[in-house]
Amino acid sequence: MSDERAFESLSEADLQELRSFADVELHRFTKEVGYPSRKYSTYADRLLAICLVQGAAQHFVDTRPELAVDHSVTVDQAEIDEKGYRVTDDGRVISGVKDIDVVLFFRADPNVPIPSRNHCMKSTV
């Protein structure tokens, strides 16, 4: 996997685009997948949240200078150089985005359990 990172802020439009990808995946999950086909259709009405998570979520927060900093972490220059981080004009260390993770959370259906997380991951380019 490439270690390239994007450092541009994620905009509201970017979040809307991610939401559209999540909606496509929700449709696929509830209307197409499983054996028998449509096995997970019961989850169409059980969606609780669609969340941007991990590094992309941290980047979204870190690149919002209007948000108050609630804690301070010291990052030494060697780590910044080694990991390819950037430092903003106001001193924030930004790690950038290597990939974007979005998680769909559902209210469980005990009659149709969703397989473990490792079996439900999907990548798109």
Q: Please report whether residue 125 resides in a domain.
A: no
Domain housing 47: 12-119
Residue 124 inside a domain? The answer is no
Number of domains in the chain: 1
Q: What is the pTM of this model?
A: 0.80
Where residue 39 falls among pLDDT bands split at 50, 70, 90?
very high
Neighbours of 65 (CB within 10 A): 12
In a domain, 3, yes or no: no
Q: Mean pLDDT in the chain? A: 88
For 59-77, what is each residue's pLDDT tens digit?
A: 998 888 787 777 788 899 9
Distance in angstroms (rounded) separating the CA atoms of residues 100 and 6: 11
* Under 8 Å between Cβ of 86 and 96: yes
Q: Is 54 contained in some domain?
A: yes
Give the count of beta carbons closer than 10 Å to the beta carbon of residue 62: 18
pLDDT the model gives residue 1? 39
pLDDT at 12 over 80: yes
> Has residue 17 been placed in a domain?
yes
- Residue 63 in any domain: the answer is yes
Q: Note whether residue 2 is domain-resident.
A: no
